[in-house]
Structure 1
Amino acid sequence: MASDQDLYPLNQNLLRLLTEKIYEKRKTAASEVERMMKEFVTTNNTAMIQKLIKVLAQDLTLSDNGHYRKGGLIGLAAASIALGKHIRIYLPQIIKPVIACFNDADSRIRYFACEALYNVVKVARETSMPYFPEIFDVLSKLCADSDTNTKNGAELLDRLVKDVVIESRTLDLEIFVPLLRERIYAKNPFVKQFLVSWISVLDSAPEVNILDYLPEILDGLFTILSDPRLEIRKACESLLGEFLHGIVTSPQNVDYAAMINILIAHAQSQDELVQFTAILWIKQFIKLSGERMLPFASGILIAVLPCLSFESDSRKNVRENAKQVNQELVRLIPREMEDTPEKCDDILTLDLHGIVDVLIVNLKHDAVPTRLACLRWVYSLFDLVPRRTFKSIDKLFPALLVAIQDTSDEVILATLEVFAELSSVCDQLQVMYKSSENQPEISYFRRFIGELLRIFKGDRSMLEERGHFMIRQLCLLLSAQDIYEVIAEILLEEADPKFASIMVQALSSILLTASELFELRNLLKDFSTAATHKLFEKLYRCWANNSVAAVALCLLTQRYQHACAILEVFADIDVTVEHLSEIDKLIQLIESPVFTYLRMQLLDPAVNGYLVKALYGLLMLLPQSEAFGILQRRLDCIPWQKHSEETANVGIPKNSSRVSSGSKIDIDFEELLNYFRKRQYLLQTELRKARRASNLLSSL
């Protein structure tokens, strides 16, 4: 036991009272210590002040004896009150022993430490700020203390320290923020609440600009936001809302780049609130910082593209904000300057390769809205930055070919629009690249048409179900003449005559019925220019793969004499049910508005004798069916009685070539007829082989 000499200016009696369990006795002892210290302060007896603090702090508070530690803490609290403003001189000797007691295993000592530190900070206030990191560290542990009294005492201390911080002008965030960052990933819910409350206090402090340090704690705050406890989520959501408001109010000094990747990561969270909040922040960042977000575009797309497919009402806000982010991001991309192609790589800091990779991945997304958004992005890139986007064409092209086979008509239409834009871009870049030895040949339009035909060949059901729709849309987006010419050129090299015949049948049907091909039909019907003659010849050689389609082309172009010649070849062709079905459809078309001009020409059989003969030829091919009756009734309407007996009987005038005056037809129809015979012979041979193989397989 220490002697009175060792305890001076305390004594054994005062020590006993300081360590009593009874509150009144401890209060009496504390009053005595306070009286003594006031006396020393009044007389300016610094030696005795130092001596009393040393005894209370070193000999008692840091003692191995638990009772002494309690007494020392009580005494230091009283001494601090007595010191008043003079405490700043002695604060290091007082506060450090008190803080050391917060690690004590005895909950009573931790509680007394709370009381002591409360009194020290209450007196010292601003002077205690250099010790704020140590105080904060203590508080962050006490908020989750297992002892209720200690936790309550810590809450009182916490409120006091917050008041002091708000008033403070000397808080050093450079020291404090690392400690905050370390604690912010704590698992304990009380610690999470404590941290959120403290960050909120710092945000409200007029002399503290916590926004400067937001990048260091933002990830932790979003982690806290995902806590399952409602009160923690609400508090954190409110705090993040305040921060975002501060950013919107003063956007000029915000380090967007340091935070955007954090937001991108949390925008992919499975937690609805976290995801919504992160996307909301990203939207504001794009609005506030503009093109500075372009280097992060690929990451932003990774986060927002899947969100476009959310259908539930609970995720409606996420979907709508993601949609806005997607739209705003596209608007940030500046258009390439056409007159400075050599500088196109320096126009903007856009991670185009990264964006393309993200789009390719999401083109396979399960949801249609996401796939559509990806295709709109590809379209925009070809439109806005064609030179740079073209460098990624070898990656994009296969992905677009997959998209063209999508189950959604919307996706197919969007893909066709992309290919149409790609075709336009290729035309623009042809001049730029043709002189460069290192650049690939730009023939993606023809390549696309070839791949489309390959897809149709491999999947006949797609040709039947979507082929007409796709070709019509292509003709609407691009030149129908160009499309038909390219298809004809490719089909001329087709090794499978059966597929070529099926494809020509589809193309002929579209040509004769679709409104999108109105101009091409009129061009062929007019047949008045050398260019039209070349087009006819090119189409004819392809159409020769299908005998009925070839007749229809001749009727459309008013080459009635050649139509008659083709029909004569039918005598040598194995006319199948498929042929009869196609002839039936042609008869229906002859009765449609497309062939109104043809029907009107029947009023003058003397001039249009080959037309009459061609129609009779079709009639002779048909069995007596409904189509036979329709055509027969039409032919019965020809006004034979208005013409001479010779004309009526023969019906074939000497001059039946319907070509505008002054135009010359430089077409070798005899050569075309021979070509038609060869193609039909080849087709018939292949069909017989296929039937023999089928019969053999059946017999086996």
Structure 2
Amino acid sequence: MPAGSVDGEALLTQQVLRGLGDKLYDKRKLAALEVEQLVKNLAREGYWRAVVQILDRLTRDYAYSPQANCRKGGLLALAAAAVALAERKQDAKKRGEAWPGPDYLASVVPPVLNALVDGDARVRYYACEALYNIAKVAREDFLEPHFTDTFDALFRLVADPDPAVHQATTFLDALMKDIVTAHEHFNMEKFVQQFQEALKVTAPRKRAFLLSWMQVLASVPDLDMLAHLPRFLERMLDCLRDPMCEVRVQAAKVLQDLLLEVQTSAGDVDVGSLTVVLATAAHSDDDTIRLTALRWLRTFVLDARAALLPRYALVLSAVLPALAAGPPDIVQLARETNAELLALPEGWEACDPAALLAAVAAELGSVHEPTRLAALLWLHTLLGRSRQTVLDHLGVLLPALFDALSAPSERVAVEALAVLGALAADDEGQFRSLMQELLDRFRGPLGARLLQRRGGLIVRRLAARLGGRAVFGGLSAILEGERDLPFAAALVQALNLILLTSPELRDLRALLQRAGAGGEGAALFSALYRSWCHSVGAVLSLCFLAQAYDHAYDLAASFADLGMNVEVLVQVDRLVQLLETPVFTPLRLQLLHPAHHPALLRALYALLMLLPQSDAFKTLHARLHSVPPMALLHPNPDPDPAVEPHRISRATHGLAAPDISAAMADGIGATPSSNGGARDRGGEASGSGGPGSDERIDFGPLLALFRARQQAHADDEEARRSSANDANVISAEHEDVMARAAWDSVEGLQGKRPLSGLTADRRTVSDESSFPRMYTG
């Protein structure tokens, strides 16, 4: 510091002071250049106090002057002084000397920044120009203490309505980016906080300004902008819905560049935090945002699967809904991502199976078929990978799975049945729970509709998956103790129709046809019988299928003292229709040999006698009268080669087969006594027998069970009829709905309504012609 002191303000001549406030730009410019030269000389001589005095005078009397021209001149002079001091500082740095001067930027920059919000557009323009000149020469010295304020000022100026100011802002913005990218120690943490707050704006120009900064900073490896990406990715995605097309295009470009940076980055990228943001964005109502989010997520699935495992559930919750709704490119991208996710890698347990299961369960009730199918496929996959986890969450899953059975799409119902079958396989407890829940789903009006629409499909698919014997045996065991008798009767009718008509149950029918040989067939017959006797038609068809013709006659004859009601007549009517279906072709062929099957003829004539004059009566009457007369004239023909060797009849147990005249002589409508029943089946052994055993079916207890069950149904109906309240009327109507649903649940029987003419109409066929044609003489 030189000896003595210099008064800096005194060095500012009146000519310079007047020039700085002149209305002409050229005069202000000349005065600013004189200030620059003066400051340069003082700095060279080391008169730093005089320099500070000059800067204070320029700030106080000019930069903050109420006169616009003075403010303009003051900005020019301050910038000129800063240039002079910056050059002096750079020279000292080159020489390796410490800077002896004051912090001139602290004096110069604040008044210039203040002028950036001046009400006069020309003042704002000169402020931009001054700040540009100051930053250009100060570079790193300007950046650290003043960047935050400068960035805020630029953020406001990008929306300035004045074209000149806007253009000046563009130049200043470019300079600031250049300085930041060249600076090795830029305070990124502080800037990110500022940037994150600025991203909340919705003004298009300001958004474009922020996006341009993001694009620049992300391209500089040393700045590690990607480490902070989770903090502002959501706001950047939101720019994709901006009303201005240019901003949307710019946002898409920036996000694409960022994704490439993520893919090629050698640094640590917080995939987990980014996934949280992207999973939320994938549910946006804007298709562009959804597509971009899904594109990022698929990239993570492909390139960062290990890091993504803890967030698999989040990704899945974003992908599954996108499978059904939106433009084709979104749907296709979701399909590809879902396929990649399904290929669970090694160590997949890190993805938290319970969270995955929750994400799947949330979509099981989706109204969109592709989403629901994908959720069911995931559930099937998780069953194979982590069965216990699935079983632990059955309380949530089972209602959704059973709801899927009523879905409009049959494919959804089929996949749900596959999952239910997998749940019940090799697990007796789950199997019984499944059967119970399935029956409960058929209750009520909604259950009746489900039974009508999907009953056949449900039972057939489960039988194919779990085995027909297990499914029918399990359902029968539950229905055996059912207290809602009308419901039990309707369900038994439906199951019986499915048993008789489904191609998938051919082996089960064949097993029942061998019931007379004991073993598994007899055991199955007895198991089904205990619930089948809820329905007259079902239990009779079961007997006809198993060729238990003697017992079928006993059942029909029981109504001599049990009494008949309309429901019984309806079931018998339907049974007659079933006897005309292909499953009973062997039975109809056996009518060609009445001597070998007298009990069959007795049983069919007993049914005929139960029916009033109706279409069913005419059908059965016509069938019985189709028996060739010559067969009746020769009661002991050659053995029938078509006779089933294990037919359940009196003849199979050592009793001679009576001729048809003797069979008819007992009386078609006679009720067999207990002694007579025992005599007719004297060769039958008690017990249903086990596999490979020679034991036969004991029909005595079964007949007693049938009679008791039918009496219970009659009493229940009588109780309901005796009550005149609305609830019972509704119950009766519901029973009829369930019965129709049972009939319609079987493909091929829909629309075929029985009881056409099942009234007290006058007979059109003589009573006499109803009996079998007997030979005389």
Tell me the TM-score normalised to structure 1 length.
0.84
Change (3 A) 1:478 1:129: same
Partner of 2:104: 93
Aligned residue type for 2:711? Y
Q: Deviations over 1:215-265 (max 9, x none)?
A: 222133123334333222221121111111221233762111222222222
1:183-222 mapped onto 2 (5 Å cutoff) = 183-205=198-220, 207-222=222-237
Equivalent-residue separation in structure 2 for 1:15 and 1:590 (angstroms): 121
Q: Deviations over 1:517-556 (max 9, x none)?
A: 1221122123345222111111111111112211211121
Change (3 A) 1:607 1:322: same
Please, which runs of 5 or more residues in structure 1 have no aligned partner?
A: 337-346, 428-442
Equivalent pair of 2:353/2:386 in contact (CA under 8 Å): no
Aligned residue type for 1:628? L
Equivalent pair of 1:166/1:204 in contact (CA under 8 Å): no
Partner of 1:433: none
Worse-matched range after superposition: 191-200 or 270-279: 270-279
Aligned residue type for 2:393? S
**Residue in structure 2 matching 1:162, options 177, 193, 205:** 177
CA-CA distance at 1:507 after TM superposition: 1.0
Equivalent-residue separation in structure 2 for 1:187 and 1:297 (angstroms): 32
Change (3 A) 1:407 1:482: same
Secondary structure class of the residue paired with 1:473: helix
Secondary structure class of the residue paired with 1:607: coil
Worse-matched range after superposition: 166-175 or 672-681: 166-175
Partner of 2:674: none
Secondary structure class of the residue paired with 2:627: helix
Partner of 1:439: none
- In the alignment, does 2:582 pair up with 1:571? no
Partner of 2:52: 54
The structure whose residues are more often helix, as a share, is: 1
1:666-677 mapped onto 2 (5 Å cutoff) = 666-677=696-707
Secondary structure class of the residue paired with 2:12: coil
Equivalent pair of 1:87/1:123 in contact (CA under 8 Å): no
Partner of 2:396: 395
Equivalent-residue separation in structure 2 for 1:206 and 1:62 (angstroms): 43
1:424-573 mapped onto 2 (5 Å cutoff) = 424=425, 426=427, 443-459=429-445, 460-527=448-515, 528-573=517-562
CA-CA distance at 1:302 after TM superposition: 4.3
- In the alignment, does 2:723 pair up with 1:693? yes
Aligned residue type for 1:524? L
Equivalent pair of 1:606/1:651 in contact (CA under 8 Å): no
- Larger-Rg structure: 2
1:140-155 mapped onto 2 (5 Å cutoff) = 140-145=155-160, 147-155=162-170
1:396-435 mapped onto 2 (5 Å cutoff) = 396-424=397-425, 426=427
Partner of 2:127: 113
Secondary structure class of the residue paired with 1:268: coil
Change (3 A) 1:630 1:165: farther
Change (3 A) 1:496 1:123: closer
Q: Deviations over 1:357-409 (max 9, x none)?
A: 45445444444444444443333332321112222223333444444444544
Equivalent pair of 1:110/1:150 in contact (CA under 8 Å): yes
Partner of 2:244: 229
Equivalent pair of 1:610/1:656 in contact (CA under 8 Å): no
Partner of 2:65: 65
**Residue in structure 1 matching 2:619, options 610, 624, 627:** 627
CA RMSD in angstroms comes to 3.6
Equivalent pair of 1:61/1:98 in contact (CA under 8 Å): no
Equivalent-residue separation in structure 1 for 2:535 and 2:346 (angstroms): 50
Equivalent-residue separation in structure 2 for 1:385 and 1:335 (angstroms): 13
1:285-434 mapped onto 2 (5 Å cutoff) = 285-310=300-325, 315-332=327-344, 347-350=349-352, 352=354, 354-424=355-425, 426=427
CA-CA distance at 1:106 after TM superposition: 4.6
Equivalent pair of 2:83/2:133 in contact (CA under 8 Å): yes
- In the alignment, does 2:275 pair up with 1:273? no
Partner of 1:644: 636
Equivalent-residue separation in structure 2 for 1:6 and 1:106 (angstroms): 31
Change (3 A) 1:401 1:91: farther
Equivalent-residue separation in structure 1 for 2:102 and 2:171 (angstroms): 21
Aligned residue type for 1:113? A
Equivalent pair of 2:535/2:571 in contact (CA under 8 Å): no
Equivalent-residue separation in structure 2 for 1:80 and 1:457 (angstroms): 89
Equivalent-residue separation in structure 2 for 1:196 and 1:695 (angstroms): 74
Equivalent pair of 1:62/1:69 in contact (CA under 8 Å): no
Equivalent pair of 1:404/1:412 in contact (CA under 8 Å): yes
Equivalent-residue separation in structure 1 for 2:134 and 2:565 (angstroms): 107
Q: Which has the higher contact order (CA 8 A, sep 6+)?
A: 2
Equivalent pair of 1:485/1:535 in contact (CA under 8 Å): yes
Partner of 2:733: none
CA-CA distance at 1:279 after TM superposition: 2.6
Worse-matched range after superposition: 82-91 or 518-527: 82-91
CA-CA distance at 1:692 after TM superposition: 3.1
CA-CA distance at 1:93 after TM superposition: 0.9
Partner of 1:612: 601
Equivalent-residue separation in structure 2 for 1:561 and 1:452 (angstroms): 35
Aligned residue type for 1:558? Q
**Residue in structure 1 matching 2:259, options 229, 235, 244:** 244
Change (3 A) 1:36 1:103: closer
CA-CA distance at 1:51 after TM superposition: 6.0
Equivalent pair of 2:275/2:297 in contact (CA under 8 Å): yes
Q: Deviations over 1:84-143 (max 9, x none)?
A: 754545794146522442223353443222111212233344554434334323322322
Equivalent pair of 1:302/1:358 in contact (CA under 8 Å): yes
Aligned residue type for 1:26? R
Worse-matched range after superposition: 9-18 or 320-329: 320-329
Change (3 A) 1:162 1:273: same
Secondary structure class of the residue paired with 2:443: helix
Equivalent-residue separation in structure 1 for 2:214 and 2:725 (angstroms): 84
Change (3 A) 1:209 1:425: farther
Change (3 A) 1:581 1:75: same
CA-CA distance at 1:574 after TM superposition: 3.5
Instruction: Give the number of aligned pairs.
Output: 662
Change (3 A) 1:219 1:335: closer
Equivalent-residue separation in structure 2 for 1:599 and 1:77 (angstroms): 114
Equivalent pair of 2:513/2:521 in contact (CA under 8 Å): no
Equivalent-residue separation in structure 1 for 2:385 and 2:522 (angstroms): 39
Identity of aligned residues (%): 33
Equivalent pair of 2:435/2:474 in contact (CA under 8 Å): yes
Change (3 A) 1:644 1:401: closer
Equivalent pair of 1:619/1:632 in contact (CA under 8 Å): no
Change (3 A) 1:110 1:607: same
Partner of 1:103: 114
Secondary structure class of the residue paired with 2:350: coil
Equivalent pair of 1:101/1:110 in contact (CA under 8 Å): no
Equivalent pair of 2:275/2:314 in contact (CA under 8 Å): no
**Residue in structure 2 matching 1:13, options 8, 11, 15:** 15
Equivalent-residue separation in structure 2 for 1:641 and 1:291 (angstroms): 86
Change (3 A) 1:166 1:220: same
Change (3 A) 1:600 1:28: same
Equivalent-residue separation in structure 2 for 1:223 and 1:91 (angstroms): 46
Equivalent pair of 1:184/1:217 in contact (CA under 8 Å): yes
Equivalent pair of 2:518/2:696 in contact (CA under 8 Å): no
